[in-house]
Amino acid sequence: MKSHKTILITGAAGGIGRATVALFTEKGWHVIGVDRNVFGDEFPQNGLFIQADISRPEDMQSIFEKAHAFDNSLDALVNNAAMQVAKPLIKTTVEEWDAVMAANLRSVFLGVKLAYPLLKTNGGAVVNVSSVHAIQTSANIAAYAASKGGLLALTRAMAIEFAPDNIRVNAILPGAVDTPMLRAGLGRGHVGGENVQDRLDNLARKTVNGRVGTPEEIAHAIYFLADNEQSSFMTGQALVIDGGATARLSTE
């Protein structure tokens, strides 16, 4: 039996991804990070960074070939990479719709399929990063919301299919978290403000906790679901982490 655990994290160079890489490394895991963007020299020395586009099936095949060469088993897979198109549905092109589905949904189907032989060796865990937009959403983000809703259904289906192999599959649904994706999407008109910081502050006031979340807070939730010692009796579940935003009636 190997002396360490290994995890593969997609979207590793983003806000939540970087925090997740850091936390698992701190906990002694070996991390395989994947992102289409460069991570930088600070990626853990005992890990492996793969620059690739998870929306491309040929890249996915290459990712898991390299992962298998790095380690013959995976203890966890975190499907965190995503893209967002923030525009009205009637102005969303077929190409944009397909690009969102390829990055946010098809990549998870294919990634788990390719990771399956590595995950079943030790009975690993899959954590899918969905979104509160899967259950409550707003205007001008239909493709993203649809992809994240589909990810919840896929999570349940995979949990059922993989239970005999002792592979757990769960999802987290982050609300507003201070990441580059959130800041880029603040211009779609759902919160007012003259600039990005004003819009971020106005968004924070809409949550019960009165603030947006941090990537580190989401990373800790991912760790809880990925670690078999902490969440061994959880599978097929969706964990909402949104500062209470979905608990409040929209009419209040």
Catalytic residues: 144
Q: With CA atoms as reference, report the closest residue to 187 among 178, 177, 197.
A: 197
Compute the chain's Rg from CA coordinates: 18
H or E segment and range at residue 197: helix 196-205
Q: What angle do CA 87, 221, 85 make, to 5 degrees?
A: 10
Task: Yes or no: say if 99 and 85 are a contact pair by the CB < 8 Å rule.
Answer: yes
Helices (H) and strands (E) in the chain, counts: 8, 7
User: In 3-state terms, what secondary structure has residue 125?
Assistant: strand
Task: Yes or no: say if 5 and 30 are a contact pair by the CB < 8 Å rule.
Answer: yes
C-beta atoms surrounding 30 within 10 Å: 19
Q: The tokens of 220 are what?
A: 């800790």
Task: Yes or no: say if 246 and 135 are a contact pair by the CB < 8 Å rule.
Answer: yes
Task: Yes or no: say if 153 and 52 are a contact pair by the CB < 8 Å rule.
Answer: no
